Amino acid sequence: MENLLFIIVEHGMCFHVYGGNVMAKCPNCGTNVSKPRKKWKMAGRPDSKGKRTQLEIGIFDCPKCKKPFRAVLSKKKI
């Protein structure tokens, strides 16, 4: 699971924020999806200073191609 998460982060599948609304872009067809079906928080691997990055991950369902995809909602050091 953590490996998958880092693949997502490394590929830059991050959220765009438009006027306070988070939007994720479907990697299959490019449709913007505004509301995650599910979201959760997860702590990543510690860096060289021992700080971990807490990520908030969302699962989205694309209304166009019907494929679920994940995106990173927010990142912060904890």
Query: Where do contacts with Zn ion occur on this chain (CB under 5 A)?
Result: 26, 28-29, 31, 62, 64-65
**Taking the complex as a whole, how short is the minimal distance between the CB of residue 9 and Zn ion, in angstroms?**
21
Nearer to Zn ion, 21 or 28 (CB): 28
Amino acid at 6: F
Q: Strand, coil or helix: what is 9?
A: helix
Distance CA 43, CA 23 (A): 22
Q: Strand, coil or helix: what is 21?
A: strand
**Taking the complex as a whole, how short is the minimal distance between the CB of residue 54 and Zn ion, in angstroms?**
28
**Taking the complex as a whole, how short is the minimal distance between the CB of residue 59 and Zn ion, in angstroms?**
13
